[in-house]
Amino acid sequence: MQKIKTSKQVDDLYNKVISEKLIGHTCQFFKENPVELKPFGSGVFVIINDVYFIFTASHVANALADKNNDLFMKVGYDKYVNVVGRVKFTDLNKSRGLDLAYIRLDDQIISDLTEHYSFLTIDKIRKHNKLLVGAANYCVIGFPETNIINENGDLNTFAQGYFTFPTNDNPYKYYKLSKEDWIILQMTGKSQDIITKAKLPMDANFYGLSGCGLWLLMPDTYKNSCDYRLIGIMTSYRKGKYFCLIGNKIHHLIEALNKFENMNLKENKIKN
């Protein structure tokens, strides 16, 4: 695969695929408090074998295990629905740090969600081993908790995209994370508001991004198009010696679907 250096043409292709495709696959969760709903993490809408899922982080989906802490999703301008479904998530005390979950959505909320969102299909999911070091082909899209505007009682939030590069081996060694399970991204790229395309500072507040998608972008400047694959779920970040975003590789969720949902999904052998 070609290592892409950003240019106006590539930036335009990225903006197009994000605004027309990726944002429609991206979920924002809300949690109820005594006053109003508050942002509480992100996720990715997925459909496999006619079954509807949300992929997210375990520490986000764990809220569904407590009957007093329902999660909600926005459908339309001012309507919210409860997240109803069966959830499977890794036990963070036993999973070697893997922080992944999926929610098998109940039929009663599918029509509301498909009216407003687009569910990712299996052909857009890839196990990605050979990272393109020094290439700006990686994008993280989610809903930071600070991206919120409350106008006249209406709760408005906006997604943010981060375009960046994979790290070298040093952060993996320093934070003791295996390259088999994690993808670590530098925080030296750029950020922008998904709707307005306004460039935003790369601040250090990533709360709310947990559970969002890590995407491999594949622009073709000759065909003036951009394809994409979901390669991970974002789970955490570090601000110590190495400032970076961290995500678990997507194949762990596919393996969970095979085990718990009898999906029988097989890996297509590709080079990266």
Residue 255 counted as domain residue? no
Q: Residue 66: which domain range?
A: 27-116
pTM of the prediction? 0.89
Which has the minimum average pLDDT: 28-32, 202-206, 219-223, 256-260?
Answer: 202-206
As a whole-number percent, the residues of the chain with pLDDT over 70 amount to 83
Chosen domain end from 90, 116, 142: 116
* Structural domain count of the chain: 2
Q: Tell me the pLDDT tens digit for each residue of 151-187.
A: 666 667 778 888 888 999 999 999 999 999 999 998 7
Helix (H, G, I), strand (E, B) or coil at 216: strand
**Which residue is associated with the tokens 């934070």?**
175
What is the C-alpha separation between 232 and 227, in angstroms, rounded? Answer: 16
Hunting for tokens 């009898």 — which residue is that?
A: 262
Domain boundary (77, 97, 116) is at 116
pLDDT value of position 193: 54
pLDDT of 37 higher than 90: no
Q: Where residue 4 falls among pLDDT bands split at 50, 70, 90?
A: very low
What is the CATH number for 102?
2.40.10.10
When computed from its CA atoms, the radius of gyration of the chain, rounded to whole angstroms, is: 18
Q: Is residue 1 part of a domain?
A: no
Give the number of other Cβ atoms within 10 Å of residue 260's Cβ.
Answer: 12
Q: Is residue 261 part of a domain?
A: no
* Residue 3 located in a structural domain: no
Q: How far is CA 141 from CA 15, 168, 230, 245, in A?
A: 12, 22, 11, 12
**Is the pLDDT assigned to residue 194 strictly greater than 60?**
no
- d(CA 112, CA 131) in angstroms, rounded, equals 37
pLDDT at position 129 is: 84
Instruction: From residue 176, give the alpha-carbon distance in Å to each of 169, 171, 173, 181, 250.
Output: 10, 8, 5, 11, 19
Residue 262 lies in a domain: no
pLDDT category at 2 given cuts 50, 70, 90 is very low
pLDDT given for residue 101 in this prediction: 96
CA proximity to 147, closest of 101, 205, 105: 205
35 belongs to a structural domain: yes
pLDDT per residue as tens digits for the range 40-93:
999 999 999 999 999 999 999 988 877 667 899 999 877 899 999 999 988 877
Q: What's the pLDDT score for residue 46?
A: 98
User: Is 32 found in the same domain as 20?
Assistant: no
- Say whether both 54 and 163 belong to one domain: no
- Same-domain pairing of 185 and 75: no
Q: How far apart are CA 247 and CA 175, in angstroms?
A: 13
Domain presence at residue 256: no
> Are 136 and 242 in a shared domain?
yes
Residue 169 located in a structural domain = yes
Average pLDDT along the chain: 85
Torsion of Cα atoms, 66 then 29 then 177 then 264, to 10°: 80
Answer yes or no: do 14 and 137 share one domain. yes
